Amino acid sequence: MLHYSCDLCKRPIDVGSEMRHVVKIEVFQAVEEGRCEEGDCCEEGDIDEIDHLDEVHAMLERIEESQPDDECDAFDDNATRVFRFDLCEGCRTMFLKNPLGGRHGKKLDFSNN
Ligand SMILES: [Zn+2]
């Protein structure tokens, strides 16, 4: 039998008597329209721009060489990250009220009070 625990309050979740909720968060780099990364559609650009790109590329290579291999993953900001959490009923409710974990104690002005 699988045992789950809430990733927020660390409380074991007894799936026999309560609901287990799964939160999946995917973070990836948005690709804006009209912008290209590969250069395939930028061939009409002037030569100066191409030289500049070469310089940037060479600079990036120097930076990569200066970093230990085991740290490269941590700096790969373009990689898609997927987070998956198990939540108990109570933490699910809390999460839905404040999904991005903004400041607690600061009330959102939804009411017209
Ligand atoms: Zn919980």
Confidence of residue 83 (pLDDT cuts 50, 70, 90): very high
Residue 109 Cα distances to 38, 65, 112, 113, angstroms: 44, 50, 8, 9
68: confidence class by pLDDT, cuts 50, 70, 90: low
Q: Long-range contacts made by residues 44-53, C-beta under 8 angstroms, separation at least 24? A: none
111 CA distance to ligand 1 centroid (A)? Answer: 27
Highest averaged pLDDT of the listed ranges 62-71, 84-93, 99-108: 84-93
Given a contact cutoff of 8 angstroms between Cβ atoms, the answer to whether 20 and 13 are in contact is yes
Is the pLDDT higher at 2 or at 111? 2
Interval between CA 18 and ligand 1 midpoint (Å): 11
Residue 55, by phi and psi: left (phi above 0), alpha (psi -120 to 50) or beta? Answer: alpha
pLDDT (0 to 100) of residue 104: 58
Residues 3-47 pLDDT 10s: 899 999 999 999 899 999 999 999 998 888 876 656 555 555 555
Looking only at the bridges linking them, the beta strands covering 21-27 and 12-13 are unpaired
Distance CA 36, CA 42 (A): 8
Distance 10 CA to ligand 1 centre (A): 6
**With bands split at pLDDT 50, 70 and 90, how would you rate the model's confidence at 73?**
low
Domain residue ranges in the chain = 4-30+41-97
Predicted structure pTM score: 0.50
> Which is nearest to 86 in space by CA: 29, 2, 1, 28?
2
Interval between CA 4 and ligand 1 midpoint (Å)? 11
In this structure, which residues have their CB less than 5 angstroms from ion ligand 1?
A: 6, 8-9, 88, 91
In angstroms, what is the span from residue 24 Cα to ligand 1's centroid?
15
